[in-house]
Structure 1
Amino acid sequence: MKIQRITYLSLGSNQGDKLKNLQEAIYLIAEKIGPVLKISPVYKTPAVGFDGADFLNICVKVSTYLPPEKILSNSLEIEKKLGRIRASSDGYSNRTIDLDILLFDDEIIFSHELIVPHPRMLDRKFVLVPLIEIASEVLHPVTKVHIGKCLDRCSDITEINKTPETLIRPIPLTEKYNYIAIEGNIGAGKTSLAKMMSDEFNAKIVLERFADNPFLPKFYEDEERYAFPLEMSFLADRYQQLSDDLAQFDLFKSLIVSDYYIFKSLIFAQVTLHKEEYLLYRKMFDLMYKEITKPDLYVYLFQNTDRLIKNIKKRGREYEQNISSNYLNKIHDGYSNFIKTQQNLNTLTIDVSELDFVNNTEDYQLIIKRINNY
């Protein structure tokens, strides 16, 4: 389990649309460092140490899994993306955005690249005043004084004024959703994505237990004979698993991610069963479906058939190697019809045919951004 840490960052801007710069920086912090938990009011201060335009300054509280060195490198990336050009000299200068790490839990870090707590934070009113708004009871790890009391000892007499401006806090994915179901055709990557999301967001994961089904290899050898027992065994197992797992929220995990949803059973049954078998199956399904918790978000990963075939061959499960394109197309049509008819299901379809989210971090972040912004 990843350990969440709390870091406090200072942000300032005195060039261009300063408020917009701060807002864009907050969005990027949420994306590249971690969920933004608190944002201080916006303060206006004169430039310190050089002649320049007034600054807008804030402090933010961030929850992160990243180590301090990675927070620093990502902060520099954010500055660069927002147009900051660092001067070659050590002096102060105008900047579109400035990010500083003030505190990282109660740690004291002293390295060539990074010093935490920030060595000049207690001497800067434009840092302390907004920081007090969100961290007054936090203890400074070196002085052992609460941040709220540090201002009394600050010798900075620079004028600082609170503005009426407000900034938007990006709502993290874990606050938006309790249960996300990820679906897709055979080989679409739903299990891989569910595992990656579980790891990143410290979420409880519910994975389909297809490998334990004794009828699955037999079904691919003789569909006619084993279709009904296969679908009935899957339905019973999925119902039991989802009923048990969704009823027991982990105290340390506020999000559940599954790589299937119970309706998957009906979609596959429509393709594999004869009419009489399907009617009987549907009666059983309808009874179970009423009792199953519905996901807050249903994500359908679409992959074109050629890509699915390549993925299936690549993962090398022997019993899957003879799956036909026609069968995969029928499964996709089943999902498509299901999505169209489910008015009360919060559904997001993402075309991942040209994405490699397992091996490409940018592709993975693109998917997470789609989910978070939906």
Structure 2
Amino acid sequence: MKIVRTTYLSLGSNLGNKLQNLQGAIDEINQDIGHVTKVSSVYKTKSWGFEGEDFYNICLEVSSSLSPEKMIQAVINIENKLGRIRDAGPSYINRIIDIDILLFDDEIIFYNDLKVPHPAMLQRKFVLVPLTEIAPNVMHPITKKTILICLQQCQDSQHIEKIAHQLIRPISLVEKYNYIAIEGNIGSGKTSLAKRIGDDYNAKLVLERFADNPFLPKFYKDEDRYAFPLEMSFLADRYHQLTDGLSQFDLFKNFIVSDYYIFKSLIFAQVTLPKEEYSLYRKMFDIMYKEISKPDVYVFLYQNTERLIENIKRRGRDYEQNIQADYLDKIHKGYISFIKSKEELNTLILDVSELDFVNNEADYRKILKDILAFEPSSD
């Protein structure tokens, strides 16, 4: 599990549409650095150390799993993305956006050009006033005084004015969802995605225990003989795991992420079982399904068959190496038929055939953005 730390950032802008610049920075920080938990009011001040347009300044509280080294690089990337131009001239110049790391938990950091706490923060009212608004009782790790006391003792006489406009704090997956189910065909990457989201957002993970099923290797060698015991054992295990996992919510976790949903049992049974056995299986399934909680969003990862086969071979499970394309196609058709028949299930279909959300950060962030932007039905 990644360690999540609280960091405080100072943002300023004095070029172009300053409010838009600040809002854009907030959104990028929420996406690339961590969950923005607090946003201060906007404060206007005269430019500091040079003649220029007035600055709009804010402070943010952010929960992030990034290290200081990765955080400073993410800050620079965001500034560049929003159009900040860097040169070797004077340090105080007009800026579309300026982002400073003020505090990183209670740590004292000297890393190349990164110094935390920010060396000049105690001399700047345009930093201390918005920071006091959102973190008055946070302790400065060097002075051992609260931010409120630091403001009261600040010698800066610069006038600072709060403006009426309030910027928008983006919501996160933690706030929007209580339960996310991630599904997909064999080799689609559902477990990898569930684990990464769970790690990044401190979620309770409910992962399928397929490796413990003694019938699975036997099924791939003799489908006709072992299909029914395999599907029944999976159904029983999934039922117990989901009912236990969803009912016993962990107070120390933010929400729940699973790499399957109970309907997976029905989809695979439709493909593997003959008509008579499926009829019996369906009766058992219907009894169990009534007691399973519905996810807030059901994410289906679509991978084309060629990519699925590549992924299956790459992960190297012996009992999967003989899976044929036509079997994967049948599973896919079963999922699509199920999704079309269950309009009440809040389904988000994501085509990830050209994405590598395990190794490519941008691809992973795109998926998170799509999940966050999804609007579930209110029914």
> 1:73 aligned to 2:62?
no
Corresponding letter in the other structure for 2:62: V
**Residues 161-310 of structure 1 aligned to structure 2 (within 5 Å):** 161-310=161-310
Partner of 2:106: 106
Q: How many angstroms apart in 1 are the aligned matches of 2:111 and 2:145?
A: 23
Partner of 1:321: 321
Q: How many angstroms apart in 2 are the aligned matches of 1:319 and 1:110?
A: 51
Alpha carbons 1:5, 1:64 under 8 Å: kept: yes
Q: Deviations over 1:250-294 (max 9, x none)?
A: 232112211111100001111111112111111110110010121
SS at match of 1:205: strand
Partner of 1:16: 16
Partner of 2:29: 29
Alpha carbons 2:69, 2:111 under 8 Å: kept: no
Alpha-carbon offset, residue 112 of structure 1 = 3.6
Partner of 2:377: none
Pick which of 328-337 and 202-211 moved more.
202-211
Q: How many angstroms apart in 1 are the aligned matches of 2:229 and 2:70?
A: 51
Partner of 2:155: 155
Q: Deviations over 1:38-97 (max 9, x none)?
A: 000011111111111111110011111122222212111111111111231243100000
Alpha carbons 1:87, 1:93 under 8 Å: kept: no
Partner of 1:60: 60
Corresponding letter in the other structure for 2:137: E
Q: How many angstroms apart in 1 are the aligned matches of 2:91 and 2:320?
A: 64
Give unpaired runs (5+ residues) of structure 1: none
Q: TM-score, normalised by structure 2?
A: 0.95
Alpha carbons 1:219, 1:230 under 8 Å: kept: yes
Pick which of 57-66 and 83-92 moved more.
83-92
Alpha-carbon offset, residue 204 of structure 1 = 1.9
**Percent identity for Structure 1 against Structure 2:** 68
> 1:336 aligned to 2:332?
no
Alpha-carbon offset, residue 127 of structure 1 = 0.9
Alpha carbons 1:355, 1:363 under 8 Å: kept: yes
Q: TM-score, normalised by structure 1?
A: 0.96
Alpha carbons 2:267, 2:331 under 8 Å: kept: yes
Alpha carbons 1:59, 1:131 under 8 Å: kept: yes
Q: How many angstroms apart in 2 are the aligned matches of 1:18 and 1:311?
A: 46
Q: How many angstroms apart in 2 are the aligned matches of 1:36 and 1:318?
A: 44
Task: Name the count of aligned residue pairs.
Answer: 374
Alpha carbons 1:7, 1:102 under 8 Å: kept: yes
* Structure 2 CA distance for partners of 1:237 and 1:162, relative to 1, 3 Å: same
Partner of 2:144: 144
Alpha-carbon offset, residue 111 of structure 1 = 4.0
Partner of 1:121: 121
Partner of 2:40: 40
**Residues 77-96 of structure 1 aligned to structure 2 (within 5 Å):** 77-96=77-96
Aligned-residue RMSD, C-alpha: 1.4
Alpha-carbon offset, residue 373 of structure 1 = 2.1
Corresponding letter in the other structure for 1:33: I
Corresponding letter in the other structure for 1:5: R
Give unpaired runs (5+ residues) of structure 2: 375-379
Alpha-carbon offset, residue 150 of structure 1 = 2.1
Q: How many angstroms apart in 2 are the aligned matches of 1:234 and 1:112?
A: 53
* Structure 2 CA distance for partners of 1:234 and 1:146, relative to 1, 3 Å: same
